[in-house]
Amino acid sequence: MRFYTGDESGLIKGIDIDANVSLLEAQARAAKRTKAAAKAKATLKPTEQAPKPDTSIDGVNMWTVDGSVSRERSIQQLCATLWSSGDRVLVAGRQNGNIDVVGYDGQQLYTYANSEFSEKLSIKHNGRLIAGRQYVGLGATDSQFLACTNMGEIRYQSFATDEATLMKLPLDAFRMRTHRQRPSVFAVGGREHELSVWDAETVKLEPQSGYAKPQSAPIFKAKNVPNDFLNLRVPVWVTDMQFTSDDATHPTIAVSTGHKQIRLYDTRAQQRPVQDWEISKHPILHLLASHVRPELFFADNMGNAHQMDMRTGLLTGTFKGISGAVKSLALSEDGSKLAVAGLDRFVRVFETEGMRQPLHRAYVKQRVSQVLWDWDQKDLSTEQLEEQEAEDIWESMDKAALKKSTKRKAAAAS
């Protein structure tokens, strides 16, 4: 298993986890090393220096792909796409406004610098103070990227030229997601900003320089739910959304809210949600739709992660052992494992069936803001591992035999 993470210190890291080394086995080996180190330290003489303890975890290999420690270059959004060369690359949106394209080998391929992020803001909106810009969504293809800020500024720009579509939507956007089959189609929502779906390639804008308001209607515009039992208006706080169908013209969308609900929208049926469940005890901040089964994974602001069935609206599992708020979720290609990362500096891997047990974990040292699962890196099966071990044994035997024959020839010659 291979993951790529972006953190609040501005680093992009790669993590390899051996799927055949379980969490319990790794913990047992680490405890055994700690015990042996403590025993060896107790036998040292006063003049001898204790060896540095081995804090590595078996089955985990970690390296820095790009970046240096800098809070100004904190990773706010991270996605992967194919580059024009045919290789997969990482696209990162940073706190200083830069959009960086980085190869898996760490090569810097493209940078767009947004000077507007250096401006200090003091805007009161919906009872909150917006003090600065930040990226709330990022998507990319091999030729273009689409980014959204909390100011409702949409930039759809080509990597090859400076030509860009600049669209202005309402303030206080909280999340933007692109369609996986058609990345120019995106959904956006936020505080007092109902869900809307747009196509950046077909939208018509007002004739003005800079960010312009759209003149054409969106693909879909949600309508607020009816008033509550006291006949009071229900406040709007869209926190995340996921496209749950491959149809980009009339998509179905799952939405999470800061008021503990998960809603399903069918853009062909009506503007209001076709399903509305209050399923959490805390505000839901992150949502992930399975591409394998009709399931949703969501996490709240208290470090709780859950799994639910979209057909019934019932919880089917809970992932325990998370210490801090969850910042990002990622699913394996076959949908059998879920990666969870957040403020506790761990990337944890859980099974999505059975008891939802933790399978692996890696300590990243920094607070993780984004995690991506590299589906191109396949896990070896038990049979493949046995074959590889057998080949390694035969290779080592051949090398040993060759070395021994070389020594005999040298002895005979002398």
Residue 316: per-residue pLDDT: 95
Q: How far, in Å, are 208, 292, 310, 387 from residue 350 at the CA level?
A: 50, 16, 20, 27
Task: Compute and round to an integer the Cα radius of gyration of the chain.
Answer: 25
Residue 380: per-residue pLDDT: 54
Query: In the chain, which stretches have pLDDT less than 70?
Result: 24-25, 27, 29-30, 45, 49-57, 380-386, 388-389, 392, 399-400, 403-404, 407-409, 411, 413-414
Residue 59: per-residue pLDDT: 81
Residue 6: per-residue pLDDT: 96
Buried b (16+ CB within 10 A) or exposed e, 379-401: beeeeeeeeeeeeeeeeeeeeee
Residue 404: per-residue pLDDT: 67
For residue 123, give both structure tokens: 């805007």
Three-state secondary-structure class, residue 4: strand
Residue 152: per-residue pLDDT: 95
Query: Which backbone phi and psi does 386 adopt, to 5 degrees?
Result: -65, -40
For residue 306, give both structure tokens: 């859950």
Single-letter code of the amino acid located at 389? E
Residue 27: per-residue pLDDT: 66
- How far apart are the C-alpha atoms of 8 and 156, rounded to whole Å? 25
Walk across the sheet containing 295-300 and list its strands.
284-289, 295-300, 305-309, 315-319
